[in-house]
Structure 1
Amino acid sequence: MTESDKAGDAYDVVISGAGLAGSAAAILLARRGVRVALLERRSDPGAYKVLCTHALQASAYPVLDELGLVSALEEAGAVPNKARWHTRWGWIEPRADAGGAELPYAYNVRRSTLDPMIRSRAAQTPGVDLLLGHRVTGLVRDGQRTVGVRVSTERGEREIRARLVVGADGKDSPVAKFAGVRTRVHENARFGYLAHYRDLPLRDGISHAWFLEPDMAYAFPNDDGVTVVAVLPDKKRLPAFREDLEGSFLAFVRGLPEAPPVDSAERVSKIIGTVDYPLVTRDATAPGLALIGDAALTGDPLWGVGCGWALQSAQWLTEAVAAAATGRGDLDASLTAYARTHRRRLRGHQFLSVDFAKAAVPFNPVQRLMFSAAARDEGMARHMYLFASRLIGPMRFLNPVALARASAVNLRHRRSAASPSGA
């Protein structure tokens, strides 16, 4: 919809950030009768996030479906994100059970394709005003409650009031900082670099990840024949890596088991990355305010969960607050319900991610048990896949039955290896 020029406009909800989380929330809220101002600091409607895994986890498929994006993504060439993972015990290769349904999946798709697509959908949704070139510079407060935002535009300053302000503005969220939301920052002991390659063949045309203990790498095929190749080494390697970034990156990739043949493919991007990417956990709500996507919780990029969690948190927020945002319910109680869902669904995943990120060391005993069993048993590989796709949580992944099965798999393997006929 077109931008309004009136200062002091009042909306039901104002969302800062028109990326995945913000655009998804705007669409879902507006469909439920909520009037939404969707603010984006950049003026280009085709702007997109550059540093990203470009992966949408299977857990986010229902949100893509509700948004009506599945067919559009497939038409754009998004690649179903089935995967295989290298470990010291061999490859974990999840497959559907014999005669069973196909394994759940979502898509790998470049943000240059995805971001403009979902932002355009938001702009075309009745009830959404997409306001480009609007940078939030502060919050409007009534005591401890947030009741709007102050923004800077090329036409000057303006104030936009709303029952609810939503921060969908990334891991460094200005909205969260202005509101003084409690923030916990967790060290990441790895750094990361990635590059995009065209016509890079991968076995079975699916995603690959390498668990090298402690180093990591992955290769994700995307739309238009472009594959994202990323390396995430231990920070102890950073000084040497920086001395020759391109040489170090290529040497790392060439040294991977079943290495992607990068030398025969066309590199279509610079090598980009970050030397410090901490994990961030924030309270998801405050009076009159909610956070979604990376603004609420920034996971470790090696797991590729950020895009999926952005979409899911937008859906959880919508389900909790849509009625109250239009004045038909208790907004504070609705925000409490959203915070509870967000915490219940993601706290366990983040806890394990923080533990894995803070100390770049070989697998601990439980990780060794589960990864080795998954490399040796198809049922355990499927179980690992469901967890990696965030379709099940840590409690179910590490439930007593699963741990017992993994132990039995490894015991059978040791007995077979020790027998005269097992080598």
Structure 2
Amino acid sequence: MYDAIIVGARIAGSTTALLLAQRGYSILLLDRDRFPSSTLSTHLFFTDSLSAFERIGVLDRVLAIDAPRLKRLRFPYVDAPFAEVDGRDFALCIRREPLDAILVEAAGAHPEIELHTGARVTGLLREGERVIGVRYQEAGQEHEARARFVIGADGRHSLVAREVGATAYEDFPPMFAWYYGYFRGVPLDDPPSAFAVRGTYPEIGAEYAASFIFPCDDGLTLVGFGVQASAFDAFRRNHREHFFGGLARIPEAMERIGDSQLEGPIVGTGDLPNFLRVPVGPGWALVGDAGCHKDPHSVQGMGDAVRSAQLLVESLDRWWQGEIDEQTALAEYHARRDADVLPMFEFTTGQLEARFTEEEWKEFGRRTWEDPALARARVAAMAHAIPPAEVYSEQAIRRVLEGRGVGLSDSGPGQ
């Protein structure tokens, strides 16, 4: 009998496990994969993730990985430095093989955590409507385990979410299809930056395309190319040819890539739905992509994972310490999770833009380029160095359009 069983041991699961274990709770952590192993991910993360890694005791190991400290975000709609938080003013892009291995190893070394990799969860155990444990397969054997609480950290196709019937809301179909590969020999810009640029690819019916270039660990650079979801079928019929053909149509991207060499395969997907799921119920909760997933073009996934883990652990701890009851704890987590992710979710899915006329949204973009404080604030909000709603909300943008301003003072983050 454990305090919690966590399904999924990557960033959301390991962070949740370690935060709970630090408070003395007993954890069973299960993952079907063995580590190190890869997973589809743009794996760019910001100061919110770095602060979480510090809390769970792995930051020194993460910073020891040879990855450039990215000082600036250069996206089609903003160009500004990262804000400073806890003495750190940079983002990192680290492949999931070494990054997840650090997290899983730290979890496995904690005395309150029992880690099983290569363990596939096949179903949940219940007493009435309440989830009380899991069934899983390991080394050809069937097992059952019980806990006070079960947490799904098992991604957008979460088995836990499916088994409990977690309802999706704010549900939007895929927006883009993304493919990426690793290139060696891409020169760093100055300062080292996370770079993205727009384009088109009419040959496959894409009126919108984009490329991102994120310097990462081991001297590699993650290069991505994506098209609107309606062009996915045409894209994937020959994804390698279309990957390079699409990049060739974006001069800024090709100039950065130059004569660098692709190492390994080009991988990707168009299976990128946008949703929030009800993240709690009797005996269960969801963290990370299991509870909220959105297109990666706004680069929120890893930060969402660690922040949702922190929010859930705080509410569970208050319940288990007797400060509040279970119903209050779960409602608290649900409300705080939504408040945390909704501003960037609405920006990512275009809901925020839809509240303005085309002319108003263009004016917001124009002012972003003209006002360095506004640009810094937009980057700080994307990195959750400030609450995103301070910038990515209808009220905040209307203040900008009315000339009342929004952004960071000269003494604020990013200076």
User: Which category describes the TM-score, using the shorter chain as reference length?
Assistant: 0.7 to 0.9
1:278 corresponds to? 273
State which of 184, 191, 197 in structure 1 corresponds to 2:183.
197
State which of 358, 363, 377 in structure 2 corresponds to 1:383.
377
Offset, 1:263: 4.9
**1:216 aligned onto 2:213:** no
CA-to-partner distance for each residue in 1:214-245, whole Å, 9 max, x for gaps?
Answer: 43221111111111111121234345434542
Instruction: Give 1:398-417 correspondences, 5 Å limit.
Output: 398=393, 403-405=398-400
Distance 1:164 1:358, change over 3 A: farther
Is 263-272 or 231-240 further displaced after alignment? 231-240
Code of the aligned partner of 2:125: V
Code of the aligned partner of 1:262: I
**1:249 aligned onto 2:243:** yes
Whether the 8 Å contact between 1:188 and 1:358 is mirrored in structure 2 is: no
Taking only aligned residues, the RMSD between alpha carbons, in angstroms, comes to 3.0
Whether the 8 Å contact between 2:133 and 2:147 is mirrored in structure 1 is: yes
Instruction: Give 1:324-343 correspondences, 5 Å limit.
Output: 324-325=319-320, 330-343=325-338
- Match of 2:101, SS? helix
Whether the 8 Å contact between 2:275 and 2:293 is mirrored in structure 1 is: yes
CA-to-partner distance for each residue in 1:327-373, whole Å, 9 max, x for gaps?
Answer: 786333222221121111112322332236999xxx94444223222
Distance in 1 between residues matched to 2:277 and 2:127, nearest whole Å: 22
Distance 1:216 1:357, change over 3 A: farther
Whether the 8 Å contact between 1:164 and 1:325 is mirrored in structure 2 is: no
Code of the aligned partner of 1:226: L
Distance 1:239 1:122, change over 3 A: closer
Whether the 8 Å contact between 1:13 and 1:37 is mirrored in structure 2 is: yes
Distance in 1 between residues matched to 2:307 and 2:51, nearest whole Å: 9
Distance in 2 between residues matched to 1:358 and 1:191, nearest whole Å: 21
Q: Radius of gyration: which is bigger?
A: 1
Distance in 1 between residues matched to 2:362 and 2:251, nearest whole Å: 19
% identical equivalent positions: 28
Offset, 1:382: 0.6
Offset, 1:394: 4.8
Distance 1:406 1:103, change over 3 A: farther
2:42 corresponds to? 53
**1:36 aligned onto 2:27:** yes
Code of the aligned partner of 2:295: D
**1:152 aligned onto 2:137:** yes
Distance in 2 between residues matched to 1:406 and 1:328, nearest whole Å: 44
State which of 274, 295, 310 in structure 2 corresponds to 1:300.
295
1:3 corresponds to? none
State which of 121, 127, 145 in structure 2 corresponds to 1:136.
121
- Match of 2:221, SS? strand
- Match of 1:15, SS? strand
Code of the aligned partner of 1:271: I
Offset, 1:29: 0.3
Whether the 8 Å contact between 2:30 and 2:119 is mirrored in structure 1 is: yes
State which of 229, 233, 237 in structure 1 corresponds to 2:231.
237
1:414 corresponds to? none
Whether the 8 Å contact between 2:186 and 2:258 is mirrored in structure 1 is: no
Provide TM-score, normalisation by structure 1: 0.84
Q: Which structure: greater strand fraction? A: 2
State which of 24, 48, 59 in structure 1 corresponds to 2:15.
24
Distance 1:128 1:325, change over 3 A: farther
Whether the 8 Å contact between 1:300 and 1:357 is mirrored in structure 2 is: no
State which of 261, 266, 287 in structure 1 corresponds to 2:261.
266
State which of 311, 318, 322 in structure 1 corresponds to 2:313.
318
Distance in 2 between residues matched to 1:139 and 1:379, nearest whole Å: 50
CA-to-partner distance for each residue in 1:305-335, whole Å, 9 max, x for gaps?
Answer: 1111111111111111125347786333222
- Match of 2:29, SS? strand
**1:206 aligned onto 2:200:** no
Whether the 8 Å contact between 2:52 and 2:306 is mirrored in structure 1 is: yes
Distance 1:279 1:325, change over 3 A: same
- Match of 1:171, SS? coil
Distance 1:144 1:218, change over 3 A: same
Provide TM-score, normalisation by structure 2: 0.85
Distance in 2 between residues matched to 1:86 and 1:25, nearest whole Å: 31
Distance in 2 between residues matched to 1:389 and 1:172, nearest whole Å: 25
Distance in 1 between residues matched to 2:353 and 2:8, nearest whole Å: 29
* Structure 2 gaps, min length 5: 200-206, 406-415
Offset, 1:293: 0.5
* Structure 1 gaps, min length 5: 1-9, 411-423
Whether the 8 Å contact between 2:182 and 2:222 is mirrored in structure 1 is: yes
CA-to-partner distance for each residue in 1:122-144, whole Å, 9 max, x for gaps?
Answer: 00112000012221111111111
1:187 corresponds to? 173
